[in-house]
Amino acid sequence: MRKLATIFFISGAPVLMSFNAPVSNAPSFKNEAAPVAFKVDGAKSKVAWLAKKVTGSHNGSISISGGDLQVDGSTLKGGTFTIDTRSMTVEDIKDANGNARLLNHLKSDDFFSVEKHPNATFTITSAKKKSGNEYDITGNLTIKGITQPITFPASVVVNGNQLNAKAAITIDRTKFDIKYRSKSFFENLGDKAIYDDFTIDVELVANK
């Protein structure tokens, strides 16, 4: 009887082990590569601004101090860039005194308060590819320490180790507490009124 019991136990062990072995139904995932960071080249990137008033307009430039853009293959996924507000220039006024007067006013607390807020930033929250190189970009724009969401179309081209992006962005200055001579807040301004919207044309160059 002992021999029979021993034989039964040994022969039955594999069967018991097969019942007791855990079965994993968890799906297997392949490791997905993380998006690659492209560093914004401030020296090659540029921003041109245009602001209009009842009697005309002014334009100039401002520098990008840095940033990173996240790319998956050839598709933009996210990122951020920073503008140095202290680098603002006026290009349409050729008279040195007149140029300096407007520039100093734009840098003052009536407008961008550049000493208190030397940086403006934009952070992408959504990059929706429409077709080809065209995107709808949504993100958070911070000016004078105030953050507001904005959406705009952009063209983004990734060629090897370089990314080139272009966008024309319309900004309502009053959302960032820039209300000087705004008809939305002050009456009877006449031809002294300055329109609320201004535009920036952004060209970014970034490298892997």
Residue 78 in tokens: 């996210």
Closest by CA position to 169, among listed 140, 190, 191: 140
How does pLDDT run across 95-123, given as a tens digit for each residue? 999 999 999 999 999 999 999 999 999 99
Under 8 Å CB-to-CB from 138, ≥6 apart: which residues?
124, 125, 126, 127, 128, 149, 150, 151
Rounded to the nearest integer, the mean pLDDT of the chain is 89
- What backbone phi and psi angles, to 5 degrees, belong to 174? -65, -20
Higher-pLDDT residue of 60 and 21 is 60
Averaged over 56-65, what is the pLDDT? 98
What is d(CA 83, CA 46) in angstroms, rounded to the nearest whole number?
A: 10
Q: What is the pTM of this model?
A: 0.83
What is d(CA 22, CA 80) in angstroms, rounded to the nearest whole number?
A: 47
How does pLDDT run across 151-207, given as a tens digit for each residue? 999 999 999 999 999 999 999 999 999 999 999 999 999 999 999 999 999 999 999
